[in-house]
Amino acid sequence: MKTIDIFERLRNGETILPNDPDGYKMREASFATKKLVIQMNNATEPEEIRSFLSQITGTEIDESVTVFTPLHINYGKHTKIGKNVFINFDCVFLDLGGITIEDNVLIAPKVSLLTEGHPTAIEDRHSLIPKPIHIKKNAWIGANATILQGVTIGENAIVAAGSVVSKDVPDNTIVGGTPAKIIKEINSTN
């Protein structure tokens, strides 16, 4: 019987207990990623930044992607970035639960995408609960917004600056606030 790797277990949404015998692998991988993140954040050429980001994610980052560093990622291999994506300064991606960013997405400065959480019960709090974040085509995430684990941002949706998004955002809507609520629907004339 094949043993499932801890990173596959994370992608499958399995809660990782604090005494998990493979838990150390998450820390080791994060420190290895940190070395690449430091190099990426000190790079000045767009091609060099994309090259480091490709190494961090383990996928080829398209030349249409623009990243203004610094960008902070704790693992990287569970982040998938589409084409014509713009990521502005000082974003944080905690991606052990999986982050998918589709084509034509705009991510403003200081956006946090947090796929990891913890149980509320005190005795279980050091366990890690991973849930994916999915940002669909043409979405725009405003400055200093936080997208929490398990959330899907719909196609063409806008998340207002400073929002905390804890529930799925429907296609073609603008959400804002803490917690984020629907402000209005978007149509082709507004």
Active-site option among 78, 118, 126, 134? 118
CA–CA gap between residue 75 and residue 187 (Å, rounded):
37
Q: Is 109 helix (H, G, I), strand (E, B) or coil?
A: coil
SS3 labels along 35-84: HHHHHHHHCCCHHHHHHHHHHHHCCCCCCCCEECCCEEECCCCCEEECCC
Tell me, yes or no, if 118 is annotated catalytic.
yes
Report the SS3 class of residue 7.
helix
- Residues written for the chain: 190
Contact 67, 51 (CB under 8 A): no
Round to whole Å and give the CA distance between 83 and 93: 18
The sign of the CA dihedral 53, 158, 97, 31 is positive
Among all residues, which ones are annotated catalytic?
118
